[in-house]
Amino acid sequence: MKVLLFDTTQSYLSPGGKQVHAQKLFENLPKVGVEVEYARWWDPNQSFDIVHFFGYNAPYLINSIKKKNKKTVLTQIMDAQTNFSPMKKKVYGWGAKMINALPSRVRSKFNMSYLNEYDALVYMHKFDKKTAIEIFHVDSNKTAVIPHASDSVEIGKVDPLPDGLPKKYLVSAGSIVERKRPVLLAQMAKKAKVPVVFIGSGHESDSYFQEFKTLVDNKYVFYLGFVSQETKISVLLQGSGFVLLSTAESGCIAVYEAASLGLPLLLPDLLWAQCYADPKEIHFCSCKNFHVSVQQLHSFYSIAERRAYPSFRVHTWEEIAYKYKEVYESIL
């Protein structure tokens, strides 16, 4: 069995969870007996049994693969849709039905209408799967739920902690974009007088990123930018807790990393934050009332300290690779 990993997201423009997901599968699938390569669009001699996609693709590509009697798998990110209001989900569902009723040559312009053409669809958690069935009417028999993961850390291989950080602090890791609400968290941190260290990339041309940078004071709001994995682990290991207030996520690898290192989590009171298995140290922030949220952040900081156990059940990437192997085998 040979699998090609394929996506159209350019990691040099947008590094993040999808890139890590693909890299970890590339590293771990061979450990469970699956031959894997990255798809080489320029190589007409590259052989394969399955193409594993990490995002929507043009219907003509899916059809071309099917004509070769090969199989397709899509790991579908449903972060935004899962956290829609019930009414918005209904509207999207109606829209999907209308698109599916169009003639095929018109319908082919809408990538989402071809979801049932994939041989298998993988979701990060049960809420994403439920939403895909509800909105896009995917065939539930083709679906599987496989979460993210985090591997154990060799403490001796992490980088030294960056200079200037306080003795006790919380960590927030993620791109500096509106969806992850770092501006709100930074405002909360200053008001609550709680030190928060932010890690993640931002674009200088983005007004939201510029607004965030005005809040950096190196007293309560620290910003390290995009750092190496080793530096990120160092910052997490020395942190007392982890905070992420995103409006939408599909698992989020940074959350898994923090949880695996024993950091208690403060997450928004949204559906995506309720997807983690066997939670032990997950706390919730309403984010609806600023003053209440500030109090919740302060209360969380006062009790936050790294535990000797994960904040929820976290698989290794090799275990996740085996779960994908089961999906691959089921469609051959």
Task: Check: pTM over 0.95? Answer yes or no.
Answer: no
**What domains, with CATH codes, occur in the chain?**
2-149+316-331 (3.40.50.2000), 155-303 (3.40.50.2000)
Provide the pLDDT for residue 123: 96
pLDDT averaged per 10 residues, the chain (length 332): 90 74 96 97 95 85 93 92 87 85 74 86 94 92 95 64 90 95 98 97 94 97 92 92 94 92 96 92 94 97 95 95 98 96
Q: How far is CA 219 from CA 49, 64, 169, 264, 291, in A?
A: 54, 56, 10, 22, 20
Provide the pLDDT for residue 97: 83
Cα 327 from Cα 37, distance rounded (Å): 17
Provide the pLDDT for residue 160: 72
Provide the pLDDT for residue 13: 66
Q: Scanning the structure block, which residue is given the tokens 């989020």?
A: 252
